[in-house]
Amino acid sequence: MAFCENCGNQLGAGERFCTNCGAQPSPVRHGGGGLRERW
């Protein structure tokens, strides 16, 4: 699962661009409950 770095929108698997703002998503692999953490 990924979240958009620009607007924080949750993106589905396989989506290459944010459906909300059009930015490229950054993968988040923490395994925590879907928290939006930045590296």
Tens-place pLDDT, residues 9-31: 888 888 888 888 888 766 555 44
Binned at pLDDT 50, 70 and 90, residue 38 comes out as low
- As a whole number of angstroms, the distance between CA 22 and CA 17 comes to 5
- As a whole number of angstroms, the distance between CA 12 and CA 38 comes to 18
Domain-embedded: residue 14: yes
What's the number of domains the chain is made of?
Answer: 1
Domain-embedded: residue 39: no
Domain-embedded: residue 8: yes
Amino acid letter at 12?
G
Backbone Cα Rg of the chain = 9
The range of the structural domain enclosing residue 1 comes to 1-34
pTM: 0.47
Domain-embedded: residue 19: yes
Q: Is the Cβ–Cβ distance between 11 and 19 less than 8 Å? A: yes
- As a whole number of angstroms, the distance between CA 11 and CA 33 comes to 15
| Per-residue pLDDT at 18 | 85
- As a whole number of angstroms, the distance between CA 7 and CA 18 comes to 9
Domain-embedded: residue 24: yes
